[in-house]
């Protein structure tokens, strides 16, 4: 019986244990994941991101691309491609990696496309054109609107999260034309109906325009929701 018990307790080798990836296999899997995600279709950029973030995986590589906008960020130095064995070094040569990969015009375009696709939130400032404000006056009123809608968003946890995402991707702000006070009020209501944060600037009337004039409405939220409200408006 003792012999039987001992035999029954013998552990079988675990056939599910994955073999460690070589550098070549790792880079190929990360490049494929980046392309499937749709954020970047330039293999050279994807390869640089894979090597810069090795061995953290596709998510780290994606975030690395999103977080960078300077050309020098996309230069692959020799130290980034060093490997611990000859197999990985030969794999780099087969994949066409060089000691220093300079950014090209197509790479720059791919980077900008990637960053644009990664933008989840934006702010649109709709300026009341019926008031005939000077450029300086408009600039001041837009500043009030930016601050107002920003502070409004920070009052909730959801808003704080949205602001953080917006800040990470460059704080996109767009100024467009509103036709009248009534138009601004309609946009304000529509923004609220689409779960956006909105703020209307009501001027004190110290200069140029009557007191109480509604000058700018600021609208902030996810790109899709904001576009539903302001997507048809012309740029200022």
Residue 87, number of CB atoms within 10 A of its CB: 11
Q: What confidence score (pLDDT) does residue 69 get?
A: 54
Q: For residue 115, what pLDDT is reported?
A: 59
Instruction: Specify the pLDDT at position 61.
Output: 79
For the entire predicted model, the pTM comes to 0.58
Domain ranges of the chain: 23-117, 120-230
The β-bridge relationship of strands 173-178 and 121-128 is: parallel
User: Using one digit for the tens of pLDDT, what is the confidence trace for 12-58?
Assistant: 555 454 556 788 888 888 888 877 766 666 777 778 888 888 878 88
CATH of 120-230 among 3.40.1490.10, 3.90.230.10, 3.30.70.20, 2.40.50.100: 3.40.1490.10
Low-confidence spans in the chain with pLDDT less than 70: 1-20, 37-41, 68-118
Q: Compute φ and ψ for 179, nearest 5 degrees.
A: -85, -30
Mapping DSSP to helix (H, G, I), strand (E, B) and coil, where does residue 197 land?
strand
């Amino acid at each position: 019986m003792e012999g039987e018990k001992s035999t029954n307790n013998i552990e079988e080798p675990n056939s599910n244990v994955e073999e460690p990836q070589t550098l070549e296999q790792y880079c190929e899997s990360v490049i494929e994941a980046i392309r499937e995600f749709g954020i970047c279709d330039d293999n050279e950029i994807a390869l640089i991101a894979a090597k810069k973030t090795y061995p953290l995986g596709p998510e780290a590589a994606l975030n690395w691309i999103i977080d960078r906008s300077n050309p020098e960020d996309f230069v692959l130095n020799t130290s980034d491609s060093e490997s611990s064995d000859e197999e990985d070094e030969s794999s780099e040569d087969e994949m066409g990696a060089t000691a220093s990969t300079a950014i090209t015009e197509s790479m720059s375009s791919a980077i900008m496309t990637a960053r644009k696709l990664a933008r989840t939130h934006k702010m649109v400032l709709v300026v009341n054109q019926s008031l005939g404000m000077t450029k300086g006056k408009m600039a001041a009123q837009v500043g009030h609107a930016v601050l107002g809608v920003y502070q409004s968003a920070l009052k909730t946890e959801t808003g704080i999260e949205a602001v953080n995402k917006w800040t990470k991707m460059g704080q996109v702000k767009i100024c467009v034309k509103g036709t009248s006070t009534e138009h601004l009020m309609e946009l304000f209501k529509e923004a609220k109906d689409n779960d956006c944060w909105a703020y209307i600037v009501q001027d004190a009337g110290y200069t140029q325009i009557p007191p109480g004039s509604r000058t700018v409405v600021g609208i902030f939220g996810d790109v899709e929701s904001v576009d539903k409200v302001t997507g048809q408006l012309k740029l200022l």
